[in-house]
Amino acid sequence: MTTATTVKTEYEAIIGLETHCQLSTNTKIFSNSSTAFGADPNTNIDPVCMGLPGVLPVLNQKVLEYAVKTGLALNCQIAKYSKFDRKQYFYPDLPKNYQISQYDLPIAEHGWLEIELVDAEGNPTRKRIGITRLHMEEDAGKLVHAGSVGVGEASRREASRNETRLSGSTYSLVDYNRAGIPLVEIVSEPDLRSGIEAAEYAEELRRIVRYLGVSDGNMQEGSLRCDVNISVRPVGRKEFGTKVEIKNMNSFNAIQRAIDYEIERQIAAVEAGASIIQETRLWEEGTQRTSSMRIKEGSSDYRYFPEPDLTPIEVSDAQLELWRSELPELPAQKRHHYQNELGLSTYDARVLTEDHPVSEYFEAAIASGANPKAAANWITQDIAAHLNKQKLSITEIALTPTNLADIINRIETGKISNAQAKEKLPDLLSGISPDKAFAGQELITDPSVLEPIVDEVIAANLKELEKYRGGNTNLKGFFVGQVLKKTGKRADPKLTNELVEKKLNA
């Protein structure tokens, strides 16, 4: 008799991200209304963004510049000719009942960015994620559902836009301040395979737009919003499974958790013989699960046609090269430089390149003569701890990169100790110069000066001397500490250790 063996099917996830990035222009994409965040509802509006009769949109030149620079930073091909289109849909937060976007001729296509994942041992693995397209468009407004008992005001923009009301709410309000805010939508290839890869992709994208200065990338304010497209398929099969979209993720950690949940949900459904429906689902932070929101539209539902009130866009070669020349060194380039040429660890390189001002501070310290590893240690450890505690950015401290280099050089040349520098760090961060902070604090490096002090300390602690010589060699640290205390921490630590050990073993 033969026994049947059940072979468990292995699945892989196919993941792509659609990221809406708000551009940091002072005015909206097609009008002069302010883009300032936090204004009273319906105060940053005008006839153009409200879609009133008889008005015409005019493209903000800065939006085009920022879109092209972002496309270049993502290694995209920039279109010499592109156009705007009308995307039709009807909802109260879209005053024109259509959105001006780009459809078949976007400003940028066929790019990539590099993500870097680090294992438990600190070893990096790099992977290129393709960028399908980048296009410009305007944002819609925001619905606020209110008046509910025990639910409170709902501010989830995507949930609000697609529900007539939240459960229990009694009325809805519309804030059009966001209507006409300039966006670029960045669509990735389905090259991602896990929640952690998707979260790292989104983080790298935010680093890039922040380095460029085209967006603040603030997810809490809606400046960066990611929608995930995800399907699963048996390993080895070429055809994709049915795609599901996930919205309403307001952090990189939420992106990872939502994807991990959805992968398990879809695999369980397939294993149970159920069909996966092409739909849009919401991530619910409270329950840590996704829930169905609506059936996903196709492009035909939007009835695209060319925007008749805006002329096509042509980017000249000269203009393109000017914008290319203005690009900064980007995070991935800096990480490679720091690791390969400066000898920094993967961890240090990632921390230093997370924020552009931090990398600029580090590089300025190096340019002033600081040892790269020592500068990295001070910035990622002691200075970072102060910044976190005080909730400051590195641009808000008074310790200049030049003075940091001065401190590091004093330590390395033996003029001061590392302990002295750490003790004086609060004063240095507040703006006191190294010369003033370390006046009269130079290390004692002359053996003829230190030797009598060591003898005096040993003579004053004969019981500890007896215990040391009886086998408790850990007491060496006690004697070293007493010498440092007696000299106000001015005794050179290395020389003190040598002299103490010599005297104790005499």
Domains of the chain, first to last: 11-141+176-317 (no CATH), 329-437 (no CATH), 447-504 (1.10.10.410)
In this prediction, residues 383-387 reach a mean pLDDT of 95
Residue 168 pLDDT > 70: no
Q: What DSSP assignment string belongs to 292-348?
A: EEEEPPPGGGG--EE-TTS--EE--HHHHHHHHHTPPPPHHHHHHHHHHTS---HHH
In this prediction, residues 414-430 reach a mean pLDDT of 90
At residue 157, the 3 state secondary structure works out as helix
Q: What is the C-alpha separation between 335 and 340, in angstroms, rounded? A: 8
Q: Which residue has the tokens 């902070």?
A: 437
Residue 28 pLDDT > 90: yes
Asked if 444 and 450 touch (Cβ cutoff 8 Å), the reply is yes
In this prediction, residues 168-175 reach a mean pLDDT of 84
- Nearest alpha carbon to residue 488 among 444, 449, 436: 444
Q: What is the C-alpha separation between 502 and 506, in angstroms, rounded? A: 6
Calculate what percentage of the chain has a pLDDT beyond 70: 93
Q: What is the C-alpha separation between 92 and 479, in angstroms, rounded? A: 77
For residue 33 the two structure tokens come to 């209304």
Report residue 214's pLDDT band, with 50, 70 and 90 as the boundaries: very high
Q: Which of 100-109, 117-126, 299-308, 424-433 has the highest mean pLDDT?
A: 100-109
pLDDT at 298: 61
In this prediction, residues 243-258 reach a mean pLDDT of 93
Asked if 348 and 376 touch (Cβ cutoff 8 Å), the reply is yes
Q: How far is Cα of residue 276 from the mean position of the Cα atoms in its chain? A: 33
Q: What is the C-alpha separation between 386 and 424, in angstroms, rounded? A: 13
Q: Find the helix or strand (DSSP H, E) in which 248 lies.
A: strand 244-249
For the stretch 113-166, pLDDT in tens is 999 998 888 788 999 999 999 999 999 999 888 875 443 334 444 443 444 444
Q: Which of 158-167, 199-208, 421-430, 454-463 has the highest mean pLDDT?
A: 199-208
